[in-house]
Amino acid sequence: MVKQVIYKLQQNNMAGYFVQGNNELIHLLTTLIKPGDTVGCGDSVTLEETGVFNFLRNGNFVFYDKHRPNLTSEEKRELYLKNFSADTFITGTNAITHDGKLFNIDGNGSRVAPMLYGPKQVIAVAGINKLVGTVEDAIKRTRQIAAPLDAKRLGKDTPCTKLDKCIDCRHNQRICNDFVLITGQFVKDRIKVIIVNKTLGY
């Protein structure tokens, strides 16, 4: 199945890679991100769990670390804008369909916007649990599994944090504002998708 997904990603002008675990993932990243490069990131449990954030913090990169403690909202906004001109933007992704499309839901767009335009390359890292059949499956998975867990992680007071399911709320803390499906790229291999052979994030 992974082979098929990578083939479909390639047909959509995106590169696909399959690695067995964290060490192989980090090794691959050292070949994709050059020393001295500017690197922005999206919020991602997967990148935290795989040690990618620490790799970027400790490596020879100019890392726009959005998780630095005590960042003001103005400083965060500056980082988000710098992400558009980064050499690399690295992120997780909510779902990858069997026909090689990426689906994400975002709250303020700071994660999905640089995926769409700006950074020279985008690296999306995902566990095999993010592989889904169709776009409908991707939307369902993200809304009913990922978004409620993410709302909990972010300490939101939205209905899903109590019900463990999405009811398409209109709560003022709603985190589901942007529904973005990436079906291809103009620039070949600008988006690189790394599938890790384990369950990661949600």
Dihedral of CA 108/110/113/115: which sign?
A: negative
Give the shortest CB-104-to-ligand SF4 separation in angstroms: 13
> Looking only at residues 90 through 149 of this chain, which bind ligand SF4 when binding is defined by CB under 6 A?
143, 147-148
CA distance 15 to 154: 31
CA distance 191 to 135: 19
Pick the closer one to ligand SF4 by CB: 49 or 150.
Answer: 150
For residue 194, the Cα-to-chain-centroid distance in whole angstroms is 11
- Number of residues binding to ligand SF4, judged by CB under 6 A: 15
Give the shortest CB-55-to-ligand SF4 separation in angstroms: 30
Pick the closer one to ligand SF4 by CB: 56 or 151.
Answer: 151
Reduce the DSSP state of residue 81 to 3 states and report it. helix
Give the shortest CB-172-to-ligand SF4 separation in angstroms: 10
86 binds ligand SF4 (CB under 6 A): no
Contact code string over 141-180 relative to ligand SF4, x by CB under 6 A: --x---xx--x------xxx-----xxxx-x--xxx----
Q: Is residue 64 within 8 Å of 13, Cβ to Cβ?
A: no
Which among 22, 28, 43, 153 is positioned nearest to 90, based on CA atoms? 43
CA distance 107 to 128: 24
Pick the closer one to ligand SF4 by CB: 82 or 140.
Answer: 140
Reduce the DSSP state of residue 110 to 3 states and report it. coil
Pick the closer one to ligand SF4 by CB: 75 or 157.
Answer: 157
Please count the CA atoms within 13 angstroms of the CA of 74 that sit on its side-chain side: 0
Reduce the DSSP state of residue 178 to 3 states and report it. strand
Pick the closer one to ligand SF4 by CB: 45 or 71.
Answer: 45
Give the shortest CB-140-to-ligand SF4 separation in angstroms: 12
Q: Is residue 39 within 8 Å of 33, Cβ to Cβ?
A: yes
Pick the closer one to ligand SF4 by CB: 87 or 178.
Answer: 178
Give the shortest CB-108-to-ligand SF4 separation in angstroms: 13
Q: Which positions lie near ligand SF4, rule CB under 6 A?
A: 143, 147-148, 151, 158-160, 166-169, 171, 174-176
